[in-house]
Amino acid sequence: MSLDSIISQGVSRAVKELYGVDTPAEQIVPQATRKEFEGNLTVVVFPWVKAARKSPDAVATEIGNWLVDNEPAVDRFNAVKGFLNIVIQPTYWNSVLEHIVADDNFGFKEADDNSPLVMVEYSSPNTNKPLHLGHVRNNLLGYSLSLILKACGNKVVKTNIVNDRGIHICKSMLAWQKWGKGATPESTGKKGDHLIGDFYVLFDKHFREEVKALMEKGMSEEEAKAASPLMAEAREMLRKWEQKDPEVRRLWETMNQWVYDGFDITYKRMGVDFDKIYYESQTYLEGKEKVLEGLEKGIMYRKEDGSVWADLTDAGLDNKLLLRSDGTSVYMTQDIGTAKLRFRDFPIDKMIYVVGNEQNYHFQVLSLLLDRLGFKWGKDLVHFSYGMVELPQGKMKSREGTVVDADDLMEEMVSNAREVSAQLGKTDGLPTAEIDEISETVGMGALKYFLLKVDPRKNMMFNPAESIDFNGNTGPFIQYTYARIRSVLRKAEELGYEIGDYAAVIPNEKEIALIQTLSDFPATVEEAGRSYSPALIANYAYELVKQYNQFYHDYSILKEENPAVRSLRLALCKSVARTVKQAMGLLGIHVPERM
């Protein structure tokens, strides 16, 4: 049982005995005592002041005295304006540490047959361009959230919906036909997603030139865009695709496969994966069918032009278009179709969509529509709405080809990690293969940590140069600390030191602080899952290694002559290393055994 639980149960018993109040232990949540007060854990006593008919300080004092008399873990206390600050028996921390050391899965819960099934959707790329920095944040958030939810005891399905149809891919296809000269990934030496992205940019370049020429002839910009022959050809290609024209479909399948092969390389290096991938080309007709079903049931209505709408004004929203007058679907219809297939494939209890905050309204509407169409999780779907990533030089732009490419970014991060590690002498004397591995681990760790340590709901500025720093709140700082601890443990093994009995040792202040922070890991994982925030895990890992480094600086470990004290410190090293590895693992970050 965790120390927090022991105190919660003790306080629950105390208020029952003292005041006759039944307060479930799970409603009593001790917090770490503020640094300016003596204590390890603090309980707020205001909920019982009315029943006790006494002042907050008197209530805190009575509960504190009860705990000292009845709970062996409590040494003493102080009461400050309704806050009960509890000091834990110094040697009791040793039993807390023993419990942590003994549990290889400390902080994690296992799913069972009764665990809810949570589906997490992330990535959602278009097949007309490679992944960019915005996709990187999306993928890392979605993948990390999936790992955290699994660590909280949920069954988790990681899923992706690929936007593989529509005018965007037709633009790339048409540009390839006109100017591609039969180019393939093999003939050009380019990843397929990059090659297709080049043609998308090329289409836009020629389209803008056409619009400019038409405007010079006296048309407005809107008129010129509508009159563009190139855009008309792209629309015609889309019409042929929808009519299943064999030639257009063959080209579409070929070019999409080039993109998927490219995406797979990017996903692998990023360290993310999926349990199930859905494709819009397979879901949009399902969505249309579901909307027509809703029309029959009176959930939707048809306008005179034949278009189908949903009236959501009774829920404070507007009227939402679901099928155009020509019968074609919109994004909302496609999302309904995807939901239908997912619900058919999996017994979903909760659905989480990892999508940027510019789509907040879309998911309000989707939630309402899915609920009205009978999906049991529709009303409670979660839109994990995250902020945008900006760069020091400004916002990214898409069609002009000025986005920060994910592959280029990852390569730059690994290259920078190699350079910085060499400058600091951290890879001196290591074989090339190991330097390559460390550079990849540190570079990708720096990227992931920098993007995940920020509250996901906030917009953020990404500065590659700041992320690769072996000091401060960065991935490399945490990775280096882990490698340092592993070095200590290897040397201890070489010296024949094992973790023996340390029950009688009275730990010092920094050792107690480390044990208490370690004991907070399960609650941190649980809160990260409840609030959908990988940032809580990232910043917990940073606080833990920061405390460890202070302890490491102030106290000997291998040179400590007292075997019991040395055993306690080695137990601390082992537990900190394992917890750092688990915490960083929840962020999808590897930690190196040596640096």
Q: Is the dihedral of CA 400, 402, 406, 411 positive or negative?
A: positive
The pair of structure tokens assigned to 479 is 């990775």
Which residue in 210, 99, 196, 140 sits closest to 522, CA to CA? 99
Q: Which of 398-407, 439-448, 539-548 has the lowest mean pLDDT?
A: 398-407
Asked whether the predicted pLDDT for residue 206 surpasses 60, the reply is yes
pLDDT of residue 358: 92
Classify the phi-psi angles of 588: left when phi > 0, otherwise alpha if psi is within -120 to 50, otherwise beta. left
Classify the phi-psi angles of 350: left when phi > 0, otherwise alpha if psi is within -120 to 50, otherwise beta. beta
Which residue in 37, 33, 284, 343 sits closest to 163, CA to CA? 284
**Does 190 lie in the same domain as 81?**
no
Q: Are 474 and 468 in contact (CB under 8 A)?
A: yes
**Does 197 lie in the same domain as 165?**
yes
Q: Are 164 and 127 in contact (CB under 8 A)?
A: yes
Which residue in 156, 389, 414 sits closest to 270, CA to CA? 414
Residues 507-534 pLDDT 10s: 999 999 999 999 999 999 999 999 999 9
Q: What percent of the chain has pLDDT over 70?
A: 98
Domain that holds residue 549: 409-586
Q: What percent of the chain has pLDDT over 90?
A: 87
Q: Are 165 and 284 in contact (CB under 8 A)?
A: yes
**Does 433 lie in the same domain as 362?**
no
Asked whether the predicted pLDDT for residue 139 surpasses 90, the reply is yes
Q: H or E segment at 75?
A: strand 74-80
Q: What is the CATH number of the domain that holds 183?
A: 3.40.50.620
**Does 486 lie in the same domain as 416?**
yes
Residue 221 resides in a domain: yes
Residue 403 resides in a domain: no
pLDDT of residue 594: 85
Residue 401 resides in a domain: no
Q: What is the CATH number of the domain that holds 72?
A: 3.30.1360.70
Q: Is the dihedral of CA 130, 136, 142, 143 positive or negative?
A: positive
CA-CA distance, 514 to 559, in Å (whole number)? 20
**Does 172 lie in the same domain as 137?**
yes
Instruction: Using pLDDT thresholds of 50, 70 and 90, give the confidence band for residue 209.
Output: very high
pLDDT of residue 4: 87
Residue 7 resides in a domain: yes
CA-CA distance, 421 to 549, in Å (whole number)? 20
Region 485-505: mean pLDDT is 96
Q: Are 73 and 89 in contact (CB under 8 A)?
A: yes
pLDDT of residue 89: 93
Which residue in 262, 259, 258, 239 sits closest to 249, CA to CA? 239
**Does 143 lie in the same domain as 9?**
no
pLDDT of residue 303: 95
**Does 433 lie in the same domain as 383?**
no
The pair of structure tokens assigned to 450 is 């920098």
**Does 380 lie in the same domain as 266?**
yes
State how far Cα 229 lies from the chain centre: 44
The pair of structure tokens assigned to 425 is 């002498």
CA-CA distance, 181 to 202, in Å (whole number)? 13
Q: Is the dihedral of CA 311, 316, 322, 324 positive or negative?
A: positive
Query: Which are the contacts of 102, defined by CB distance < 8 A and separation ≥ 6?
Result: none
pLDDT of residue 402: 54
| Final residue before a domain boundary, out of 363, 390, 417 | 390
Q: 192-220: string of b/e by CB count within 10 Å (b at 16+)? A: bbbbbbbbbbbbbebbbebbeebeeeeee
Which residue in 129, 118, 273 sits closest to 196, CA to CA? 129
Region 168-195: mean pLDDT is 96
E strands, 344-457, in order: 350-356, 382-386, 389-390
**Does 146 lie in the same domain as 85?**
no
pLDDT of residue 467: 78
**Does 384 lie in the same domain as 423?**
no
CA-CA distance, 230 to 236, in Å (whole number)? 10
Q: Which of 326-330, 412-416, 498-502, 528-532 has the lowest mean pLDDT?
A: 326-330
Asked whether the predicted pLDDT for residue 122 surpasses 80, the reply is yes
Please give the C-alpha separations between residue 253 and each of 131, 249, 472, in angstroms, as whole numbers.
Answer: 19, 6, 48
The C-alpha R_g of the chain, in whole angstroms, comes to 29
State how far Cα 68 lies from the chain centre: 42
Amino acid, single-letter form, for residue 408: D
Residue 400 resides in a domain: no
pLDDT of residue 398: 43
CA-CA distance, 364 to 561, in Å (whole number)? 64
DSSP percent split of the chain into helix, strand, coil, nearest 5? 55, 10, 30
The pair of structure tokens assigned to 273 is 């994966």
Q: Are 421 and 438 in contact (CB under 8 A)?
A: yes
Q: Is the dihedral of CA 65, 71, 72, 77 positive or negative?
A: negative
Region 342-360: mean pLDDT is 95
pLDDT of residue 451: 94
Question: Considering the entire predicted model, what is its pTM?
Answer: 0.92
Classify the phi-psi angles of 109: left when phi > 0, otherwise alpha if psi is within -120 to 50, otherwise beta. beta
The pair of structure tokens assigned to 227 is 């009159």
Region 225-230: mean pLDDT is 94
Q: Which residue reads 């990390």 in tokens?
A: 144
Q: Which of 46-55, 269-278, 470-479 has the lowest mean pLDDT?
A: 470-479
Number of independent structural domains in the chain = 3
Region 144-165: mean pLDDT is 97
Q: H or E segment at 323?
A: strand 319-323
Region 150-178: mean pLDDT is 96
Residue 103 resides in a domain: no
Quote the mean pLDDT of the chain: 93
Euclidean distance between the first and the last CA atom of the chain, given in angstroms as a whole number? 36
- In total, the chain counts a number of residues equal to 595
**Does 318 lie in the same domain as 190?**
yes
Residue 184 resides in a domain: yes
Amino acid, single-letter form, for residue 463: N
**Does 56 lie in the same domain as 182?**
no
State how far Cα 315 lies from the chain centre: 31
Asked whether the predicted pLDDT for residue 326 surpasses 90, the reply is no
pLDDT of residue 389: 85
Residue 105 resides in a domain: no
